[in-house]
Amino acid sequence: MSPVDAVPASVGVSGLTAILVSLVCVAIAWWSLQGLKLDLVIRHPKGPQGKLLQLLLAVALGRFVASFVLDYLGYTQMLRYLF
């Protein structure tokens, strides 16, 4: 495989990694938000609006965590150029 052929493959792998990390982080955020007592903040936490709020919070929190994890992975990949 030539170096030119390796570039699209590495971009594809990094894209797939980003998707998987993002989905896992959103799922972990959703799971962690299940223990949050939303009835203290909203009227009907079991209703559709309460579940939508929980989903949006999970996506936002999961996105921040995924961004941190992906940045950390990128930084560790750059360390090989240090030595």
Q: What is the pLDDT of residue 5?
A: 64
More confident: 5 or 34:
34
Answer yes or no: are the C-beta atoms of 72 and 31 closer than 8 Å.
no
Task: Note whether 38 and 55 are within 8 A (CB).
Answer: no
Q: Which whole number is the average pLDDT over 15-29? A: 95
Fill in the amino acid letter for 19: I
- Its pTM stands at 0.81
Spatial distance between the Cα atoms of 17 and 73, rounded to a whole number of angstroms: 10
CA distance 23 to 39: 26
pLDDT of residue 83: 78
**Residues 6+ positions from 69 with CB-CB distance below 8 Å:** 21, 25
